[in-house]
Amino acid sequence: QFPFGRRLPCDIYWHGVSFHDNNIFSGQVNKFPGMMETVRKITLSRAMRTMQDLFPLEYNFYPRSWILPEELSLFVAEVRMMKDSNPSWKPTFIVKPDGGCQGDGIYLIKDPSDIRLTGSIQSRPAVVQEYICKPLLMDKLKFDIRLYVLLKSLEPLEIYIAKDGLSRFCTEPYQEPTLKNLHQVFMHLTNYSLNIHSGNFIHSDSVNTGSKRTFSSILCRLSSRGADVKKLWSDIISLVIKTIIALTPELKVYYQSDIPAGKPGPTCFQILGFDILLMKNLKPMLLEVNANPSMRIEHEQELSPGVFENVPSPVDEEVKVAVIRDTLRLVDPQKKKRKDTHVTVPPKQQWLGVHEHHPALWEVSPWQGVSSEVPPKPTPSVFVCRRCQSLKQAPEASEELPEAPKSPEAALPSLCLKQVFPKYAKQFSYLRLVDRVAALFIRFLGVKGTTKLGPTGFRTFIRNCKLSNSNFSMAAVDILYIDITRRWNSMGIDKESGMCLQAFVEAFFCLAQKKYKSLPLHEQVSSLIEFCECRLAALHGKRLVWGCG
């Protein structure tokens, strides 16, 4: 551990909180720049809403959300309208502070008027969501799932999911929300950091019982009830891939800002914690994504009032040790070197013996690679070392042949991390529209290290893609830029001037709707992306010709 940083380069840096824990210029870092900002509740909700606008059915695993305080009036109006159209609808909502963690500041309400309109809502923005009233119960208790996801690479996109996770239980029997039980956090909130303070919390030495269990133990019980566990896993994998696809555009903007293309710099990977709730019908719903999931494998036990001791947690150890071990195996920089230099061991019946200088001898076709003017008489009982071309007589049949040398990986358990992307890329590539919009945005940023597009960059984008015409003048382009940028900048805490990615995406959607009026939104956006990419490719081709000229 190097609390004050380290000057000498490392293969892998394991930062505690964020990419910027230390200034580094090489190797691999276990954090992506901008990840903490990207998975905050408000930013995540905006990213998911963008995808829900494009693909409403594919992204129906994220609860309907509103951002406070900026969308408070919209929230009130939409709830009133839904209640008017369906008087039997009796919703419950959950309010989550944007920067909150471990259940801090979360509360339930039955009506928009119940939102705590104190000064804190202005200084501490929040997300309000529809509360899932009919969760799957186990032993009459509500629970959620913490799954560990490894984002190994952003470009190309590479995602792994741990084959096991944690199930974290509430500590009071669940009842659907009423005005009387809204404030019973041990009934409604699954956060471990809250429930551990309940007198009903059970620390168990078994992975199948207690207030924290393995997800695999839950799947076993579901399977014994006749549930389709394979479909459930398939739905969870789909949820994870779609969520990462929603997050990657923003991450790419941060990435190019901190690690500009063409300059030496580190590569990144990161373990994320996905919090998922199963509904009664086994449909998985995304609650949130954690950039820094706890990797503790022990818990505090109170020996006497005020005296605590760290006690090992078998459940945490079983899941988390495997996740970190296999993450390191996957990103191990020496792995490729070993693979490049490792000679494939032939089947045991072809193993010949041990050379005094080299690890093994193999049978080869007669005199292949043997440097000799008069080769000895070919015989299958003579073998050659491929590295130094020396010959060796085959062992007698009675001799016991030595075992082939094993790789370091052979002693380890099989990987607990399963690759899901690019393995299933064909099924999900059509969803990556905003990724392509982000690529256009990054192309016109101009200044290296910035995350906002200036007015000149936006005008250049419009001009190069030939999007202005008699019905949409450059003056109208400037007005569009100013209106959208001013509104987005008034909502954010970032004081840097210019158009952020979300604002550019909104402007791009407006342009697509103007140009392709009769199509659904995702087709409008897809058509405009192809139009812009085609124009820019043609322009690039012309510049190459001019350069050659």
Considering the chain, tell me which residue range(s) the CATH 1.10.238 domain(s) occupy: 430-546
Neighbour-count burial for 190-204, b at 16+ CB within 10 Å, e otherwise: bbbebbeeeeebeee
For the structural domain made of 12-63+132-302+312-334, what CATH number should be given?
Answer: 3.30.470.20
The enclosing H or E element of 268 equals: strand 267-268
- The rounded distance, in Å, linking the Cα atoms of 291 and 39 is 7
For the 430-546 domain, the top CATH level (class) is: mainly alpha
Cα–Cα nearest to 238, from 28, 427, 407, 22: 427
Given a contact cutoff of 8 angstroms between Cβ atoms, the answer to whether 268 and 254 are in contact is no
Distance of CA 299 to the CA centre of its chain: 27
Q: What is the pLDDT of residue 265?
A: 77
Given a contact cutoff of 8 angstroms between Cβ atoms, the answer to whether 502 and 546 are in contact is no
Distances (CA, A) of 328 to 35, 55, 320, 409: 20, 35, 12, 12
The radius of gyration of the chain from alpha carbons, rounded to an integer in Å, stands at 29
DSSP per-residue letters across 450-503 = --SB-HHHHHHHHHHTT--BTTB-HHHHHHHHHHHHHHHHHH-S----SB-HHH
Q: What is the pLDDT of residue 382?
A: 52
- The rounded distance, in Å, linking the Cα atoms of 333 and 326 is 13
And the tokens for 484?
Answer: 């959208």
Residue type for 353, please?
Answer: G
Q: What is the pLDDT of residue 296?
A: 92
Neighbour-count burial for 311-341, b at 16+ CB within 10 Å, e otherwise: eebbbbebbbebbeebbeebbbeeeeeeeee
Identify any residues that bridge with 267 across adjacent strands, giving them in sequence order.
28
Given a contact cutoff of 8 angstroms between Cβ atoms, the answer to whether 296 and 315 are in contact is no
Identify any residues that bridge with 168 across adjacent strands, giving them in sequence order.
144, 212
And the tokens for 35?
Answer: 């990840």
- The rounded distance, in Å, linking the Cα atoms of 533 and 42 is 31
Q: What is the pLDDT of residue 400?
A: 53
Region of 24 on the Ramachandran plot (φ > 0 left; ψ -120 to 50 alpha; else beta): beta
Residue tagged 């998985």 (tokens): 284
And the tokens for 472?
Answer: 């949409």
- The rounded distance, in Å, linking the Cα atoms of 275 and 283 is 14
Identify any residues that bridge with 149 across adjacent strands, giving them in sequence order.
161, 272
Given a contact cutoff of 8 angstroms between Cβ atoms, the answer to whether 485 and 456 are in contact is no
The enclosing H or E element of 235 equals: helix 229-258
Q: What is the pLDDT of residue 142?
A: 96
Given a contact cutoff of 8 angstroms between Cβ atoms, the answer to whether 293 and 148 are in contact is yes
Q: What is the largest CA-CA distance in the chain?
A: 99
Considering the chain, tell me which residue range(s) the CATH 3.30.470.20 domain(s) occupy: 12-63+132-302+312-334
| Residue pLDDT tens, the chain, 549 long | 887 777 788 889 898 887 876 777 788 999 999 999 999 999 999 999 999 999 999 999 999 999 998 899 999 999 999 988 888 888 999 999 987 776 678 999 998 888 876 555 556 789 999 999 999 999 999 999 999 999 999 999 999 999 999 999 999 999 999 999 999 999 999 999 898 888 898 888 888 889 999 999 999 999 999 999 999 999 999 999 999 999 999 999 999 988 877 677 789 999 999 999 999 999 999 999 999 999 999 887 777 777 778 888 999 999 999 999 999 999 988 776 666 555 444 444 343 444 444 444 444 434 344 434 444 444 445 555 544 555 555 555 445 545 555 666 677 889 999 999 999 999 999 999 999 999 999 999 976 778 999 999 999 999 999 999 888 899 999 999 999 999 998 876 566 789 999 999 999 999 999 999 989 999 999 999 999 999 999 987 776 666 665
Identify any residues that bridge with 142 across adjacent strands, giving them in sequence order.
137
And the tokens for 56?
Answer: 């409403």
Residue type for 492, please?
Answer: G
- The rounded distance, in Å, linking the Cα atoms of 198 and 141 is 14
Residue 269 DSSP symbol: -
SS3 label, residue 383: strand
- CB burial class (10 A; 0-12, 13-18, 19+) of residue 364? middle
Distances (CA, A) of 331 to 24, 158, 324, 335: 17, 12, 11, 8
Neighbours of 70 (CB within 10 A): 13
- Who contacts 396 (Cβ-Cβ below 8 Å, separation ≥6)? none
- The rounded distance, in Å, linking the Cα atoms of 86 and 80 is 10
Residue type for 335, please?
Answer: K
Q: What is the pLDDT of residue 258?
A: 85
Cα–Cα nearest to 259, from 251, 249, 271: 251
HSE-up of residue 530 (Cα within 13 Å, Cβ side):
8
Residue type for 177, please?
Answer: P
- 274 φ, ψ to 5°? -95, 120
